[in-house]
Every structure is written in structure tokens, then in C-alpha cells.
A and B are shown apart, each in its own frame.
Chain A
Amino acid sequence: MIPFEYLRAGDPAEAVAAVAGRPGAAFLGGGTNLVDHMKLGVAGPDLLVDVSRLPLDRVEETAGGLRIGAAVRNSDLAAHPLVRERYPVLARALLSGASGQLRNVATTAGNLLQRTRCPYFQDVTTPCNKRVPGSGCSAAGGYTRYHAILGASEHCVATHPSDMAVAMVALDAVVAVLGPGGARTLPLAELYRLPGDAPQRDTVLEHGDLIIAVELPHLPFARRSAYRKVRDRASFSFALVSVAAALDLDGGLVRDVRLALGGVAHKPWRATRAEAELRGGPATEDAFRRAAEAELAAARPLPGNAFKVAMTRNAVVATLRALAEEGR
């Protein structure tokens, strides 16, 4: 077997030091993705630093918002009363992901940092620039049903698989990171990268950077929010496309809106163009459609996933329509 060492970190600083000091080290959260990759040969860390038992498993109330510990399990987060009350979009996104068993184990930070399920990435017998930089992209010209229509590059057309992250991006979440150089925060939307010519890098994190929490800001209108996941089967499948939305209505007008898309890009896609189109406009189906189309004007579908453009548009319209009806 492939030997590796295992270290259960006593505190976050020790975990960061242990990983930072060893190029082949990796953090281990719930292990639902990394352990698969170790079996498949996709990843081969020589040291696993277990951070799943660090005291980062609390959901704390902040000024109108929430601070979610990195080790909070997906199931616990989905069931948390304040999440359900203030951010239903997040609870629903979590519950639409994976399976009950996986959600019981998967952690918040692990969910954010899970890797693409592009089948070529997961199969070491096929070239993949994300797995082996420079080896080529097998998805281009191959099976692209679950691949990107926005923001992809010639080097990589993979999508980010998380549902939770889509909701969090819509909610303007901020991640708290402890690195070898100290602590810092950054907006979740800026954590993720587009593939460009370095698809091996999913995020801007450096080796040894440990996410210790996710902060959700105060956003009262997120109480009216929803997550819509379109998929090939009713459970245990990744999004073809997904929509996270929160809608603030002023009579028949859109006072404010948050909109993010999943299954369409290398990262959870904040639909800023659509949001701008919607703000101050009428909360009508036509307006929702125009906004979705504005966002999707930049879409560059692949042979095999052109349907995603219409599917995304329809899912956006359906989600906003339902939220608007809920508000009447």
C-alpha cells in the first residue's frame, strides 16, 4: 500500500505548521473526497493532518450573522435553527448535496475545498491538466454533460461540485483562514479561481492555509431565499445547474437580490450581471428572464452541454418566480 503518516492536530496552529512544513502534506476533514482520491491515485499525500476534531465545530451568532466553524458537519449545519431561519437557501443547498451518510461526515471547509467530479480528473489513466498540469484536457472533445459553460479555459472545463458553496457565495460569505503567515479573511467569492492556464489550482489558498471558519453577514432578506438544483436523478447526483437566490421585494419591484449559480463554472458563479439587471426593476417573469439572459450572454457551452444555457435560464426564472410568489 501507499504509506502515509497521520497526525491528529491539537490546535489549528499546530495543524498549519505541520502541513506548511511538508510539501506532501494535506489536511484531512471528513475525508469524503480526499480518501476517495487516495484510493483512485488522484492524490497521494505523505502526511494527513486530521483537523476534523479541532474545536472548530460550533455555529456562533455574530452581529446579525453567523460564524460557522470549519469542522461543522454538513448535516448539523443544515439542521441548525438559525441557518434554517435566516438562511434557508443554505440549509436547502446542503440538503440537496451528497447523501445523508456523507453529510454526516463532511465538514464545512471540506465541502468548500472538494474537487471537481470531472470523470477525467478522477481517472488517472486519462490526461487532465488539473491533475497533471500540462498533460491535456480530456473533457474537451469528450463527455461534457457536467462541465462549464461560463469562465472556462482551453486548459480546463471542469465545474466546482459544491451546492453549499453556491449558497454561501450568494450570501456574501467570508472565509477566515489561518496560514503560516497568520490569520486573514477573504470573501468566499474570491477564494475560488477560474481555471485559466493553471487549472491545478482551485483556490487562491497557499499550501498550509487552513480555513477555520465561514462568516455569513447579516442579510435580513435572506429569510426569503431558495436553492434550486436541477439534476439527472432525485438524489445523490451533482447539479446539472443550480441556483441560489434571495429576493427582497418592495411591492412589485426588486429592492435587492442575491443570485449565484452552480454546475456552470470552475467556481460557484455569482451572477452579478443578473443582479444588477434586476435591482430596482419589476419582479416579473419577463424581467427575471432578461436578467438570466444577461448573465448567460457570456456563456460558451461545449458540444454536449449546450442545454445548460436554457436550463440555467429557466432555473433562475423558476427560482425567482417562486420567491416572488412567496412574497405576495
Chain B
Amino acid sequence: MTVWREAVGTPAARVEGPAKVTGRAGYTYDRPVTDPAYAFPVQATIARGRVASIDSAAAAGVEGVLAVVTHRDAARLADTGDAELAVLQSDEVGFRGQFVGVVVAETPQAARYAAGLVRVEYEQRPHDTELRADRPGLYAPEQVNGGFVSDTDEGDVDAAMEAAAVTVDRAYTTPMEFNSPMEPHVSVAVWDPGERAPGGGFAEGARLTLFDSTQGPHVVRSTLAQVFGLPPERVRVISPYVGGGFGSKGMPHAHNVLAALAAWAVPGRPVKLALTRQQMFALAGHRTPTIQRVRLGAGADGRLTAVAHEVVEHTSAIKEFAEQTAVGARMMYAAPNRRTSHRLAALDVPVPSWMRAPGEAPGFFALEVAMDELAQACGLDPIELRARNDPEVDPESGRPWSGRHLVRCLREGAARFGWAERTAPGTRLVGRELVGLGVAASTYPYYRLPGSRAVVEYEGGGRYTVRIGAADIGTGAWTALTQIAADALGCRLRAVRVEIGDSDLPAATVAGGSSGTTSWGSAVVAACRAFRHVYGEQPPAGAEAGADMPDDPDAERFAMHSFGAQFAEVRVDADTGEVRVPRMLGVFSVGRVVNPRTARSQFIGGMTMGLSMALHERGVLDHRTGHVINHDLAEYHIATHADVVDVDAVWLDEEDVHAGPLGARGIGEIGIVGAAAAIANAVHNATGVRVRDLPITPDVLLR
């Protein structure tokens, strides 16, 4: 049996840290390739319609321009079923900023300049980008992200609301938000053309190598292989270092296809494409805006009788992505009558996608502010209210929890944070600042995704190499997998070298759903055990063994979720309404923590993103043009260092014996969940003003 104590659980420094801080870590765009050319996109300036004509003569005449590719001459893709990825395959325009062409040139500057000279005439059609709860055409998706059903209805919510002693019935909104990782979306495409097929199609023998900033080399490979009609083994995706993703690099996006099409147009030349920050606002996914109605019914003692969470959100008319915003409300609190639903408006907007904790992040803003409102209405402490509604078993499935320690997190946090100092709303004035404390609960499901495989090789000299096509997007996965392998093999940390970030390595699932360490880690453990089973403690050099991630029978028998308690102190300027957050504390229950150093970074990073969501982030869609008008980091505000003062995270010392061999449930996303609600609740405690729409900007609190 594996002993988790030598490496797992220790704050090992990042294995790739020295390479990163000394600049030796090669990020995608900096990849040396022979004789590269550079691509710059041409983007649609209308939100809906068709391209009527394109004049690329001026662009083609720019010195250094190698090709101008548009829908008229781009190579035909084999599979255009995914409209987001059907790049340059037709004259249709489905959102503003969509690719309508690409210029390839000897330098990035020439490509960018020439792209600005491409004249595109459009046949414009009326577009519709505005999300409203009362708009016609809202529909229920067949399922929402994560494979959940769109709607649930248990008991009789309406009757329970009618009968309830205390009710809350409010609408909450969150805006369009953008992942905005530091490293933009980058692809470098290299074709080995094989025999060119007649008509310019992708020949049987063609081979594509893509250096790509991605959260999942294997998913990019399998997706692009299908799009280009190539067998997967003829596509290779390499991505060792990734400068952040937050979900936006979890699925291939249009730029991947564009880079490959651009490179196909200039035979023999690798092509580099890096989206600009502005382009990322239309092309790298975003979080849908949400309009959420939450209804809570309770007895005078605060015990819930009804929970209803009904969500209206958008998707792109060209491709459905349904954020699972209300799913968390299905399991969070004990209430016999529960209803959840998702309604989508298919709008002429860019394609939404994953953004850290899709579903839970916006959903728990609404649910947890509503719980604060209920506590206020019942005259109960918000922690006590949550304790009274902590369900014995999962209300949705009826299964026992693998470990639900929400109340412990809340009480532990209350003691550490000085919750007892909280006063009545609007009563604590320090100088010219109103001070308040707020709390919110957090949760995130345990996902262990099938499809990962790891291989262990003994290199001789006491050194092992572990191979798995996983991705470390800054999370610390590289280090965690090294620790897991070291303990699973029973060797020193430095005896293990982990190779990731390449689709030529064994299959691995995407770095998403906070599932990386658990999924890949389980495969690594299985491979290490298989290795020792075959070769024992004295393997010959070159010995190799591999294993797939084992099944997870407990996941069918238990309800498995992480939990957390988010605390925030806010200070609101009584004159200007400016909100500052001097303190945040998160207390989390996540099963075993593999690496306290990188885990802490994940928690406080998530909380910081939650602070940013609470106070700053708002994509402004100009409905006249369908354009995200504040599409850079000067105008789309993300919390700065000056906004982030003291963010701390602690966790319960535990393992989840049902959560695979590691006993770990995943930590990448729970930090953002509930953070915005805790701040909004603290703002209420400080000012007496209940803010139900994010972000909480100074004008909202101005008196």
C-alpha cells in the first residue's frame, strides 16, 4: 500500500519554477521553429450577416505578405459540425469579431498592418445581443455543461413558498466576464504536407504539429484531427508551459484552426499566431451574463422548506454552451421542495465557454446572497442558518456524503476571522469608512474524468520518468504529479522526472473541473503500482509499465463534493461608495492536500478572482454593434495588487477515503465559489445596502 507522507503533503517547490524564473521555460510563441511566418486575423466588424465581398489586393501587396486567406480560398475542413471551429468555411458572420480572414507575412508587424488593409463589405442582418429575462425565444437546453439535466423539480415549490413563514424572492445578475490569462491564446502550426490532395484538401499523409497554449494537448489533438479529417496519430500537440487558462484554454477555439489553415496556405513555413488581448474578448470564450431568480422559503426557525434557482443566460447563436449555474442549488441545502432551471437566449455573441468554476461561480453569488437575505429576515446569524440547513445526505441523489464538512469550515473560519465582532448592518463607522463582515458557503464537485493513462520508465541510476499528456497551466500539477509518483514508487522526489504537455505522451484528460490531480494522479499511482508489481524494487534500466486510470466505484455510491467557507471584511467609503477589501479568509474541505504550497496558491488565486468578480469585472457589450467595447485590461478591470490586501486560505486536515487512491477531491476552482457573495454580504453588513448585481461599483453605494 502506498504511503502518503514522504512527498505527498509536503510543500515541495515547483519543479518547473527555476526554468520559469530564469526565462528558460519556453512558452508557445517563443518556440523556435525553422523559418516561421506570422499570422494576423481579420475580424468581422458586424455581429450578423454575410461577407459580400473582400478586397485583399492592398494587403497582398504589402512587402513581406505571403498569403491572405479568406473563406473563398481557405482549405476545406473535413468536419464543420462545430460552428466555432468551422473557420473560414463560409461567408456567414455569427458574431462581431469572428474570423473572416487571416494574413500571413514574414513579420508580425507586416501581417498586422496588412490585415488592417483587407477591405470587407458585408450584407448586414439585424442582430440581437441583449439578454433579458422577459425576452421571447428563451429555451431549455437538452443538458447543461457537465452533462447535467437542465431542469429539476422536486416537491411543490410554489405551495411551500405560499406556506412559508419567511421568504426571499429576488433577482440577481452577473455580467459577461472574461478569463484573461496572462499569456494570450497562442498556436504555432507546422505542417508536414505529405502528398497534397487534388483541390487543396488535407491529404492522407499530411501531418500537423501544433505548439499550443492549452489545458489539454490530447483534446486539442482529437478535436483538430476530426476537424481536418486526419487520423489522430497524424496530429501532435505540444504545450509544456502555459501562462494561465482558467478554462479559456480548456477546449480548442477558432484560433487553433486558423493557425493551421494559415500554415497550410504557406507550404513549408511554420506559422505563429498569438491573439491580441483585444481579440481574446471575442475569440477565447467568456462567462455568460446571468439573470438569476432565487426563491427561498423557510420556517421562522430558518429551516428551509423551498429552494428554487431559475437562471436565464446566453449562448452564441452559432454554438450552444449552457453554463450549469443552478446545479449547485440542487445539493447545497436541505429543503424538501426544490426547483432549478436554465433558460438560454441564443444571441449573436461570441461563443461562451468555461471560466473558472462554470456554474458554481455565478450561481453561488446568487444563492449565497439569498441565504444572507434569509438569515436577515429570520433574525439568524448566517452561519447558524447554514448549519440548520446542512443536509444529512445529498438532497438530490439521496446518497451519503463522502465527507461534508461545511459547518466545520464555517465555524473554524468564524473563530479565526473574528466573526463575533460583526455588528448590525450599517452601524460600524471607522473614520469615514463603513466596516462590515460577510460570509458565504462554497462548494465544488469532485470530478475524476476517465481517459488518462500514465507510463513509468526506469532510466537506471535510481531515476524514473513518468509520462502523461497532462497540462500544468500554472496550477502546480507538474509538481504534484512528481510528488505522487515519488510516494507511489517509494523513492525520493528528485529521483522522479515527470513529462507532460505533449499529445505524444499517454492520453490525459483536460486540466478542468478541478480534476487534474485526482484523474492524472490516480493514473500515475496505478502505473507506479503496476511498475512495482512487474519489476519490484530492483528494475532493470529501461523497464517500463503503464496503467489506465482505474474506475472509481465510490463515485457512484457517494455524493462527493468539496466545501468551503468564505469570509470577507469590507470598508466602504461613506462619501464615494468605494469598496475595499482589507481581509478575506477561506476555510476549505477538499480531502487530502497534495502540496500545501501550490494548493494555497490555488485557493487564494481563486478567492482573488472572486474579489475581482465581486468588485471589478464587467464586459460591456455595446448592443448597437455587438461589440465588447471595454476589450483591454485598462478598461476591463481585474483586481490589481492594490485591491488585494490580505487574502488567506486554510484547510481542514483530512482525506476523503472515497476519493480514489489519493483521498483528494480537487482544489482549482472552489476558491472562487462564494467569494463574491461573501463580499456582497459584507457590503450589506457595512452599509445596509443589499447589492444583487455584480460588480459592486462605487456608484451603487453612493449616497
Using a CB–CB cutoff of 8 Å, the interface residues on chain A facing chain B are 1-2, 41, 117, 119-120, 122-123, 125-126, 138, 141-143, 230-238, 240, 307, 310-311, 314-315, 317-318
Q: Are B624 and A234 in contact (CB under 8 A)?
A: no
Give Cα A205–Cα B116 distance, bound, in whole angstroms. Answer: 31
- In chain B between 103 and 122, which residues have their CB closer than 8 angstroms to a CB of chain A? 107, 109-110, 112-113, 116
A236-B640, A237-B637, A311-B698 given; name 11 further pairs at CB < 8 Å.
A1-B109, A1-B110, A117-B634, A123-B627, A125-B45, A126-B627, A126-B629, A143-B630, A232-B697, A235-B641, A238-B634
Give Cα A64–Cα B543 distance, bound, in whole angstroms. Answer: 83
Q: Given the complex, which residues of A lie within 8 Å of B631, measured CB to CB?
A: 119, 123
Q: Are B698 and A240 in contact (CB under 8 A)?
A: yes
| The 10 residue pairs across chains A and B that have the minimum distance between CB atoms | A1-B109, A307-B699, A235-B642, A234-B642, A318-B575, A235-B640, A230-B576, A314-B575, A234-B643, A119-B629
Q: Are B45 and A143 in contact (CB under 8 A)?
A: no
A234-B622 contact, Cβ under 8 Å, with A120-B629, A315-B575, A315-B576: no
Give Cα A1–Cα B112 distance, bound, in whole angstroms. Answer: 7
A233-B616 contact, Cβ under 8 Å, with A1-B112, A142-B624, A310-B702: yes
Our pick among B575, B616, B629, B642 for the contact of A317 (Cβ within 8 Å) is B575
Give Cα A317–Cα B575 distance, bound, in whole angstroms. Answer: 8
Smallest Cβ-Cβ distance to B43: which chain A residue:
A125
Q: Are A119 and B635 in contact (CB under 8 A)?
A: yes
Cβ contacts A to B, 15 pairs, < 8 Å: A1-B107, A119-B630, A138-B622, A141-B624, A143-B630, A231-B698, A232-B698, A233-B639, A233-B643, A234-B580, A234-B643, A235-B641, A236-B640, A318-B432, A318-B575
In this assembly, does B625 line the interface, its C-beta being within 8 Å of a C-beta of chain A? Answer: yes
For B110, B575, B703, the residue with the greatest tally of chain A CB atoms inside 10 Å of its CB is B575
In this assembly, does B620 line the interface, its C-beta being within 8 Å of a C-beta of chain A? Answer: yes
Using a CB–CB cutoff of 8 Å, the interface residues on chain B facing chain A are 45, 107, 109-110, 112-113, 116, 432, 575-578, 580, 615-616, 620, 622, 624-625, 627, 629-632, 634-635, 637, 639-643, 697-699, 702-703
Give Cα A99–Cα B516 distance, bound, in whole angstroms. Answer: 36
Q: Given the complex, which residues of A lie within 8 Å of B116, measured CB to CB?
A: 41
Q: Are A314 and B109 in contact (CB under 8 A)?
A: no
For B576, B630, B634, the residue with the greatest tally of chain A CB atoms inside 10 Å of its CB is B576
Q: Are B629 and A2 in contact (CB under 8 A)?
A: no
Give Cα A123–Cα B277 distance, bound, in whole angstroms. Answer: 13
Q: Given the complex, which residues of B lie within 8 Å of A126, measured CB to CB?
A: 625, 627, 629
Give Cα A117–Cα B633 distance, bound, in whole angstroms. Answer: 12
Contact residues of A: prevailing secondary structure:
loop
A125-B627 contact, Cβ under 8 Å, with A230-B578, A234-B640: yes
A269 CB, min distance to chain B CBs, angstroms = 18
B257 CB, min distance to chain A CBs, angstroms = 23
Smallest Cβ-Cβ distance to B638: which chain A residue:
A233
Q: Given the complex, which residues of A lie within 8 Å of B624, measured CB to CB?
A: 138, 141-142
Give Cα A174–Cα B699 distance, bound, in whole angstroms. Answer: 34
Give Cα A321–Cα B218 distance, bound, in whole angstroms. Answer: 62
B108 CB, min distance to chain A CBs, angstroms = 8
Q: Are A311 and B699 in contact (CB under 8 A)?
A: yes
Q: Given the complex, which residues of B lie within 8 Å of A238, measured CB to CB?
A: 634
B61 CB, min distance to chain A CBs, angstroms = 14
Smallest Cβ-Cβ distance to A240: which chain B residue:
B698
Give Cα A93–Cα B699 distance, bound, in whole angstroms. Answer: 22
A127 CB, min distance to chain B CBs, angstroms = 10
Give Cα A235–Cα B637 distance, bound, in whole angstroms. Answer: 10
Q: Given the complex, which residues of B lie within 8 Å of A317, measured CB to CB?
A: 575
B282 CB, min distance to chain A CBs, angstroms = 11
Q: Are B616 and A232 in contact (CB under 8 A)?
A: yes
B448 CB, min distance to chain A CBs, angstroms = 38
Smallest Cβ-Cβ distance to A230: which chain B residue:
B576
Q: Are B639 and A314 in contact (CB under 8 A)?
A: no
B313 CB, min distance to chain A CBs, angstroms = 22
Give Cα A237–Cα B616 distance, bound, in whole angstroms. Answer: 11
Q: Given the complex, which residues of B lie within 8 Å of A138, measured CB to CB?
A: 622, 624
Give Cα A232–Cα B573 distance, bound, in whole angstroms. Answer: 12
Q: Given the complex, which residues of A lie within 8 Å of B632, measured CB to CB?
A: 122
Q: Are B634 and A123 in contact (CB under 8 A)?
A: no
Give Cα A169–Cα B480 distance, bound, in whole angstroms. Answer: 57
B430 CB, min distance to chain A CBs, angstroms = 15
B103 CB, min distance to chain A CBs, angstroms = 12
Q: Are B629 and A314 in contact (CB under 8 A)?
A: no
Q: Given the complex, which residues of B lie within 8 Å of A141, measured CB to CB?
A: 624
Q: Are A142 and B629 in contact (CB under 8 A)?
A: yes
A231-B112 contact, Cβ under 8 Å, with A120-B629, A236-B634, A237-B637: no
Give Cα A128–Cα B377 distance, bound, in whole angstroms. Answer: 50
Q: Given the complex, which residues of A lie within 8 Å of B615, measured CB to CB?
A: 232-233
Give Cα A317–Cα B578 distance, bound, in whole angstroms. Answer: 15
Q: Are A231 and B578 in contact (CB under 8 A)?
A: yes
Give Cα A307–Cα B701 distance, bound, in whole angstroms. Answer: 10
A229 CB, min distance to chain B CBs, angstroms = 10
Q: Are A142 and B576 in contact (CB under 8 A)?
A: no
Q: Given the complex, which residues of B lie within 8 Å of A2, measured CB to CB?
A: 109, 113
Give Cα A307–Cα B699 distance, bound, in whole angstroms. Answer: 6
A318-B576 contact, Cβ under 8 Å, with A233-B643, A311-B699: yes
Q: Are B640 and A233 in contact (CB under 8 A)?
A: yes
A167 CB, min distance to chain B CBs, angstroms = 18
A123 CB, min distance to chain B CBs, angstroms = 7
Q: Given the complex, which residues of A lie within 8 Å of B697, measured CB to CB?
A: 232
Q: Given the complex, which residues of A lie within 8 Å of B698, measured CB to CB?
A: 230-232, 240, 311
B645 CB, min distance to chain A CBs, angstroms = 9
B286 CB, min distance to chain A CBs, angstroms = 17
A315 CB, min distance to chain B CBs, angstroms = 6
For A119, A141, A310, A315, the residue with the greatest tally of chain B CB atoms inside 10 Å of its CB is A119
B117 CB, min distance to chain A CBs, angstroms = 10
For A141, A143, A234, A318, the residue with the greatest tally of chain B CB atoms inside 10 Å of its CB is A234
Smallest Cβ-Cβ distance to A119: which chain B residue:
B629
Q: Are B640 and A143 in contact (CB under 8 A)?
A: no
Q: Given the complex, which residues of A lie within 8 Å of B643, measured CB to CB?
A: 233-235
Q: Given the complex, which residues of B lie within 8 Å of A231, measured CB to CB?
A: 578, 698
B703 CB, min distance to chain A CBs, angstroms = 8
Give Cα A230–Cα B580 distance, bound, in whole angstroms. Answer: 12
Q: Given the complex, which residues of B lie within 8 Å of A236, measured CB to CB?
A: 634, 640, 642
Q: Are A314 and B576 in contact (CB under 8 A)?
A: yes
A33 CB, min distance to chain B CBs, angstroms = 11
A197 CB, min distance to chain B CBs, angstroms = 23
Q: Given the complex, which residues of A lie within 8 Å of B575, measured CB to CB?
A: 314-315, 317-318
Q: Given the complex, which residues of B lie within 8 Å of A143, measured CB to CB?
A: 620, 622, 629-630
Smallest Cβ-Cβ distance to A235: which chain B residue:
B642
A279 CB, min distance to chain B CBs, angstroms = 23
A142-B110 contact, Cβ under 8 Å, with A119-B629, A125-B45, A315-B575: no
Q: Given the complex, which residues of B lie within 8 Å of A318, measured CB to CB?
A: 432, 575-576
Q: Are A311 and B641 in contact (CB under 8 A)?
A: no
Smallest Cβ-Cβ distance to B107: which chain A residue:
A1
B435 CB, min distance to chain A CBs, angstroms = 17
Q: Given the complex, which residues of A lie within 8 Å of B110, measured CB to CB?
A: 1
Smallest Cβ-Cβ distance to B62: which chain A residue:
A1
Smallest Cβ-Cβ distance to A237: which chain B residue:
B637
Give Cα A142–Cα B621 distance, bound, in whole angstroms. Answer: 9
Give Cα A1–Cα B115 distance, bound, in whole angstroms. Answer: 10
For A143, A232, A240, A310, the residue with the greatest tally of chain B CB atoms inside 10 Å of its CB is A232
Q: Are A311 and B576 in contact (CB under 8 A)?
A: yes
Give Cα A126–Cα B620 distance, bound, in whole angstroms. Answer: 15
Smallest Cβ-Cβ distance to A127: which chain B residue:
B625
Give Cα A293–Cα B578 distance, bound, in whole angstroms. Answer: 21
Give Cα A122–Cα B640 distance, bound, in whole angstroms. Answer: 22
B48 CB, min distance to chain A CBs, angstroms = 16
Give Cα A230–Cα B702 distance, bound, in whole angstroms. Answer: 11
Give Cα A2–Cα B699 distance, bound, in whole angstroms. Answer: 42
Give Cα A230–Cα B578 distance, bound, in whole angstroms. Answer: 7
Our pick among B622, B637, B640 for the contact of A142 (Cβ within 8 Å) is B622
B621 CB, min distance to chain A CBs, angstroms = 9
